[in-house]
Amino acid sequence: MQVQEHLTATIRPFDPTDYDAIARLHSVNFPEFAMDAAEWRFDDEHRPEHCRSARWVAEQGDQVVAFAQYDQHAGHYHPRKFHLALVVDPDHLGRGIGRRLFDLVLAAVRVFDPLSVDVWSREDMSGRIGFFARRGFIEDWRMWTSALDLTAFDPSRFAHVVPAVEARGIQIRSLADLGPTDPVVRRRLYEMWLEVRQDVPDPATDDYVVVPFERFQENIDRPYLLPAGYFVAVDGDQYVGTSQLWMSPEAGVLRTGLTGVRRAYRRRGIALAMKVRSLELGQRLGYQRVITENELHNQGMLAINDELGFVKNPAWAHYLKSFEA
């Protein structure tokens, strides 16, 4: 694609030397979901071949000030549905760079006769929301991000939780204890994850796709996995639940991954017990904050997080633009 010149901004295809720049822009705009260059590179290198993706950056002088991309997610794959990302340095907003990048990405996606494209925005980003609303995007899903101050967390309030679960024969083990590279452990994790994932709330327009075992293993190999904080509820030789902590590029911050329990084991306090163990670990390791996210109507997990002391941040909304008409 030809390089485009407009005023003092230049738009060109992404180059591997841009990873640090796009990681900075993403983290400045969306600190709740900060990613470093290694994570961006990992995702690109492990994207399945059938999932289309392309990325462009905008430069002013020798500085990357914005980027945009389209891609497709393996776990929600549909050949004619695409996810868009559009990120502009806050100091360069209002200069038409975002509009030009959006037009470029949308034109590239139209080649594939899309059914829809989607994008995310935080509810307090009024300019971003207005930008997409004017281009036909409609909100169809919402989730909370919440944060817990580990320096103020009092684990003694929940001292009874883990023993009560263990008294029923359920052990709370970490992946570090079980063996993160053990093929039997990974297979059991995968079988449990397949069941639990079916009940994870997602936008209604996302297509559920069974992720193969090999793809699941790649996720365990991500650079920010914390094996000691990847907790598993074990009943005999069956894995019945999980709650995970992942490291963050932000100093002193941990993020939660999936927390879920097999249907037959719910309402036994297992999810709360795993969360308590994870927060105790984070506190013991000297972290100051844990960030999590939950779908707006996921009352079970929201209640657990409220009980633990998580405080809600502005919500994130999922916006969809349909081409079916």
Structural domain includes residue 323: no
**Residue 35 to residue 30: CA distance in whole angstroms:** 9
Question: What CATH number does the domain containing 278 carry?
Answer: 3.40.630.30
Is residue 54 located within the same domain as residue 184?
no
Task: Tell me the pTM.
Answer: 0.90
The total number of structural domains that make up the chain: 2
Is residue 90 located within the same domain as residue 197?
no
For the chain, helix (H) and strand (E) counts, in that order, are 10, 14
Is residue 100 located within the same domain as residue 151?
no
Structural domain includes residue 324: no
Residue 5 Cα distances to 2, 55, 100, 198, angstroms? 10, 17, 11, 46
The Cβ of residue 21 has, within 10 Å, a number of other Cβ atoms equal to 20
Position 6 pLDDT exceeds 50: no
> Residue 38's Cα: distance from chain center in Å?
15
For the stretch 163-173, pLDDT in tens is: 999 999 999 99
pLDDT band at 1 (very low <50, low <70, confident <90, very high): very low
Is residue 84 located within the same domain as residue 158?
no
**Residue 157 to residue 204: CA distance in whole angstroms:** 38
Mean pLDDT for 174-197 is: 95
Structural domain includes residue 265: yes
For the stretch 234-280, pLDDT in tens is: 999 999 999 999 999 999 999 999 999 999 999 999 999 999 999 99
Is residue 152 located within the same domain as residue 301?
yes
Structural domain includes residue 137: no
Structural domain includes residue 260: yes
Contact 291, 247 (CB under 8 A): no
Residue 186 Cα distances to 99, 217, 220, 257, 268, angstroms? 44, 7, 9, 17, 25
Mean pLDDT for 174-196 is: 96
Structure tokens at 107: 């034109």
Rg (C-alpha) for the chain, rounded Å, is: 21
For the stretch 122-163, pLDDT in tens is: 999 999 999 999 999 999 999 999 999 999 999 999 999 999
Is residue 159 located within the same domain as residue 266?
yes
For the stretch 217-229, pLDDT in tens is: 998 889 899 999 9
Element (H, E) at 166: helix 161-166
Structural domain includes residue 124: no
Mean pLDDT of the chain: 93
Query: Which of 114, 131, 158 finishes a domain?
Result: 114
Is residue 163 located within the same domain as residue 43?
no
Is residue 200 located within the same domain as residue 77?
no
Query: Which of 90, 114, 138 finishes a domain?
Result: 114
Position 4 pLDDT exceeds 60: no
Domain that holds residue 53: 4-114
Contact 145, 134 (CB under 8 A): no
Query: Which of 71, 95, 114 finishes a domain?
Result: 114
Is residue 16 located within the same domain as residue 103?
yes
Is residue 83 located within the same domain as residue 165?
no
Is residue 164 located within the same domain as residue 110?
no
Position 325 pLDDT exceeds 60: no
Structural domain includes residue 71: yes
**Residue 175 to residue 178: CA distance in whole angstroms:** 5
pLDDT band at 60 (very low <50, low <70, confident <90, very high): very high
pLDDT band at 205 (very low <50, low <70, confident <90, very high): confident
Residue 307 Cα distances to 157, 258, 299, 302, angstroms? 10, 18, 12, 9
Position 47 pLDDT exceeds 80: yes
Structural domain includes residue 65: yes
Structure tokens at 135: 């281009």
Is residue 80 located within the same domain as residue 155?
no
**Residue 281 to residue 279: CA distance in whole angstroms:** 5
**Residue 314 to residue 56: CA distance in whole angstroms:** 29
